[in-house]
Structure 1
Amino acid sequence: MRYTPTLLALAVCSMVAVAHADTIPATPLQAASPVKSHNINIQRWQMDNGAKVLLVERHELPLVDIDVAFDAGTRRDAANKIGVADYAGALMDMGAGDLSEEDIRKQSSDLAVTVASYAGLERSGVRIRSLSEAKTLQPTLALANTILTKPRYEAAVLKREQDRSVLSLKQNETNPQFLGNRAMTRLNYPKHPYGYSAWENEKTIRAIKVADLQRFHAQYFRPQTAVISIVGDMNRSQAEQVATTLLAGLPQDKIALAPIAAVPVKGGQTTAIAHPASQAHLALGLPVFTRDDPDYFPLLIGNYTLGAGGFDSLLMQELRDKRGYTYGAGSSLEPLQQKGEFSINMSTKKASATDALKVTKEVVSAYVANGPTEAQLQQAKANIIGGFPMRFDTNAKLLSWLGTIGFYNLPSDYLDTYTQKVNALTTAQIREAWQRRIKVNDLNVVVVGGEK
């Protein structure tokens, strides 16, 4: 689990939904069902200014959900100005144009709509939910455009949010899990932009100035990297007008943006952190997983059996059910443009930390060597395929998928072919992928609060 910065829990939570649209949740066992197309008709096109637009029409309700995302996440921070991207994205809706923060809240409330800015690791932007009727949608779009194009970045608001961030950071630094996740991110991404936020401290927070936010916004909030995702009661012609309205006033010229560097991987490191808590927190991890990874499905589906399948997973069976070391243990994979983390996390009694870590490594090692059994694979397929339609059964859920498909240039039939690719996997394919990609001795390890 990658460390996330302290700024604005609302903004961070909003981005989680966007960034992890295709992470596999633990769900109750589903009955096996035939694999079929979900018939998600994604219309997509590119505007002259470079912006990409993705639309799924859903006319059952008079609602529309819109996400306007830019390549302006924290990965665009400079090493000597950590946190600028977070504030630049999250503070856009805290005063813009002639509107104060309170004015924006009041307009949203009066219209009964949502217009909120957010900041994340790879993307930042604005999310909108509105009735589709013109008398509501048009002023909502005007408000969103003002937020996107004319953020005030008032010194008093920045100071208030910095004070909150410092307080939040100090509180979090008493939490073993927070310390463990931060230490793991430092091991996995010591000098890479994916890990800059793990070096955040009071000094870096206080060093951010209004001019930094203004400069960042001018450089990165440009149509050339924008992905506009739209789900709801709207047709293509209307969506084209919406996209034009939202981006009007942003710099339309294109500039060269530096590519995101590949992640240099260094494994086999261990960090131990003393902590007075009665529970120790254990974390194992390594950057391994890209969004376009050729082993994407074998790794993702195999991870369900290892640690993402809740009480069905091997880690839960071995660490909780058989030995009582923990209430919960799980593993996750974070697909990013460059290598995201494979990670395992759990809490246990201090006296059990050494044994729990040993057993965890044994479970991973055995799984890499043997892969899932046929029964385990069929159980994983039944859960994933059976529960898949529920992962885009609302406009908001589908919007997250569209943002992911657009930002990472995934094919338009991604949702329709997802379960087909899952269903086609064999135990041998999963075993071979895990053997190629995961070496237990290469995993970095963090122990917070273990016994000396």
Structure 2
Amino acid sequence: MRWTGVVLAALCAAPAAAMEIDRWETDEGLQVLFVEAPELPMVDLRLTFDAGAARDGELPGLARMTSRSLRHGTTAMDADALAERFESVGARFSTSSQRDMAVVSLRSLTETDWLDTAMETLTTVLAEPAFPEDDFDRARRQALLGLQRERQEPGSVAARRFHELVYADHPYANWPAGDRESLEALSPEDARGFFERYYTARNGVLAITGGVDRRQAEALAARVSQALRPGKPAEPLPPVPPLEGAVTEHVPFPSEQAHIRIGAPALRRGDDAYYPLTLGNHVLGGGGFTSRLFRELRSERGLAYSVSSGFGSRAAEGPFNVSMQTGTEQTAEAVEALHEQIRRWHAEGVEPAELEASRANVVNGFPLRLASSSGIVSHLALIGFYDLGSDYLTHYPARMEAVTLDDVQRAIRERVDPQALVTVIVGGEEP
């Protein structure tokens, strides 16, 4: 069944200032966040578990393989029957895995019989996943093929090596896709054990939004919670140790372009520095065509095919990351130009006009991130998972408006050390 144009046209969120987030905890310990959107004839549910690649341990790729396996059926339905069951009532079911979290999502129309069937199917997946060996082996082969493709893409090689050097022995060094040795060693029982340990009520957050009221949302949450083992929260991740100095690595690769990554661990999710660093990064390389890196390295000097920067905030320190593609014949000049811009940004901060332009762009663009049911439910999930506070959506614009030039300067100097950055270059021959 397809979503009609009428339904899609109705995907419009209330302004963030008008959103009231209801929060509660189920008897089994599942945290729930709910925003009512009565104008929508649908409901979105997003379950997040502290079960991302950072929990892989000695088996890189386990979190992702476990997430994929949930689509392979239950003890009563194989993968095809499961997909047909959701499709028969117009529901959309998906799973995914990131570094911090695993995600299970459901979208359903609110018509009683259809929603009931969709929820029954979802809870069966959560209570009775089958982890069939044939499907697991097929997913393993697909994952191994994915690794082969990654090794042929200089951008993927650079991203993986960057994380290995930045995070060393920290769990974030695990690449979500895993490696050949680990994937070949994984078994369905490994995935089942991972599921039973981490996909539990006390290790999860449920976000709900759509055309249901609080009473109905509580009933949906209870069904989900009762399908899960109570379990216990995962242990907090250890802090990421700061880099002790600069590290540079050139990986030879037969390509006409060099892919460059520069950065270091920098920012935890929920940190007060998030707001000034968001605006400061927008000036440096997060603002697209208007950013310094794009303007000075691409437009003025012609050194970059693409260039950007960002802060990947996570449960532990996520990376400050500058990414650039350039011709292999000008790699050395491009790398030095990037470092020069980072040093200037660190030493001088940003100009008043740059800050105001970035602030306007970020604040004015924020409502667009909440202009759909999927946008709302994903933000609710992040708020719950990272414990950002129920006022996060309503206060976000004001917190951005309150950021001063001194705040930006201080945050940059505290979180980014130009003398302690990892630089990875993939492409061309090593000099």
TM over 0.5: yes
Cα pair 1:186 1:199 within 8 Å, conserved: no
1:57 aligns with 2:36: yes
Partner of 1:263: 240
Equivalent residue letter for 1:209: S
Cα pair 2:288 2:308 within 8 Å, conserved: yes
| DSSP 3-state at the match of 1:299 | helix
1:121 aligns with 2:96: no
Partner of 1:338: 316
> Which deviations, in whole Å up to 9, do the C-alpha atoms of 1:125-149 show, x marking residues without a partner?
3101111121110110011111112
Cα pair 1:93 1:117 within 8 Å, conserved: yes
State the alpha-carbon separation in 2 of the partners of residues 249 and 57 from structure 1.
Answer: 23
Please give the TM-score of this superposition, normalised by the length of structure 2.
Answer: 0.93
1:446 to 384, 407, 424: 424
Q: Alpha-carbon deviation of 1:200?
A: 3.0
Partner of 1:211: 189
State the alpha-carbon separation in 1 of the partners of residues 396 and 146 from structure 2.
Answer: 39
| DSSP 3-state at the match of 1:38 | helix
Q: Alpha-carbon deviation of 1:199?
A: 8.8
State the alpha-carbon separation in 2 of the partners of residues 429 and 329 from structure 1.
Answer: 25
Give the 5 Å matches for 1:255-294: 255=232, 257-266=234-243, 267-294=245-272
> Which deviations, in whole Å up to 9, do the C-alpha atoms of 1:371-423 show, x marking residues without a partner?
11111111101111111111101010011100000011111110111111111
Q: Alpha-carbon deviation of 1:258?
A: 2.4
1:303 to 272, 281, 295: 281
| 266-275 or 354-363: bigger deviation | 266-275
Partner of 2:12: none
Q: Alpha-carbon deviation of 1:450?
A: 4.1
User: Segments of 4+ in structure 1 off by > 3 A?
Assistant: 254-257
1:373 aligns with 2:351: yes
State the alpha-carbon separation in 2 of the partners of residues 136 and 257 from structure 1.
Answer: 34
Equivalent residue letter for 1:446: V
2:17 to 13, 34, 38: 38
Partner of 2:393: 415
Equivalent residue letter for 2:48: A
Q: Alpha-carbon deviation of 1:53?
A: 0.6
Cα pair 2:28 2:201 within 8 Å, conserved: yes
Cα pair 2:110 2:211 within 8 Å, conserved: yes
| DSSP 3-state at the match of 2:174 | helix
Identity %: 30
How many equivalent residue pairs? 415
CA-based RMSD = 1.4
Cα pair 1:53 1:243 within 8 Å, conserved: yes
Kindly tell me: are residues 334 and 133 of structure 1, through their superposed partners in 2, closer, same or farther at Cα, counting changes over 3 Å? same
State the alpha-carbon separation in 2 of the partners of residues 395 and 143 from structure 1.
Answer: 21
Q: Alpha-carbon deviation of 1:248?
A: 2.1
Please give the TM-score of this superposition, normalised by the length of structure 1.
Answer: 0.89
State the alpha-carbon separation in 2 of the partners of residues 383 and 250 from structure 1.
Answer: 42
Unaligned runs of 5+ in 2: 1-14
State the alpha-carbon separation in 2 of the partners of residues 205 and 251 from structure 1.
Answer: 27
1:109 to 82, 87, 95: 87
State the alpha-carbon separation in 2 of the partners of residues 197 and 382 from structure 1.
Answer: 36
Cα pair 2:61 2:179 within 8 Å, conserved: no
State the alpha-carbon separation in 2 of the partners of residues 200 and 265 from structure 1.
Answer: 24
Cα pair 1:77 1:84 within 8 Å, conserved: yes
1:74 aligns with 2:53: yes
Equivalent residue letter for 1:101: A
Equivalent residue letter for 2:236: P
Kindly tell me: are residues 49 and 199 of structure 1, through their superposed partners in 2, closer, same or farther at Cα, counting changes over 3 Å? closer
Q: Alpha-carbon deviation of 1:294?
A: 2.6
State the alpha-carbon separation in 2 of the partners of residues 256 and 229 from structure 1.
Answer: 17
Q: Alpha-carbon deviation of 1:313?
A: 0.3
> Which deviations, in whole Å up to 9, do the C-alpha atoms of 1:162-185 show, x marking residues without a partner?
111111111110111011001100
2:64 to 82, 86, 91: 86
| DSSP 3-state at the match of 2:20 | coil
State the alpha-carbon separation in 2 of the partners of residues 226 and 236 from structure 1.
Answer: 20
> Which deviations, in whole Å up to 9, do the C-alpha atoms of 1:6-52 show, x marking residues without a partner?
xxxxxxxxxxxxxxxxxxxxxxxxxxxxxx96221111111222111
Q: Alpha-carbon deviation of 1:298?
A: 0.9
Q: Alpha-carbon deviation of 1:250?
A: 2.3
| DSSP 3-state at the match of 1:91 | helix
Partner of 2:4: none
Cα pair 2:59 2:182 within 8 Å, conserved: yes
1:390 aligns with 2:368: yes
| DSSP 3-state at the match of 1:297 | helix
Q: Alpha-carbon deviation of 1:259?
A: 2.2
State the alpha-carbon separation in 2 of the partners of residues 256 and 321 from structure 1.
Answer: 49
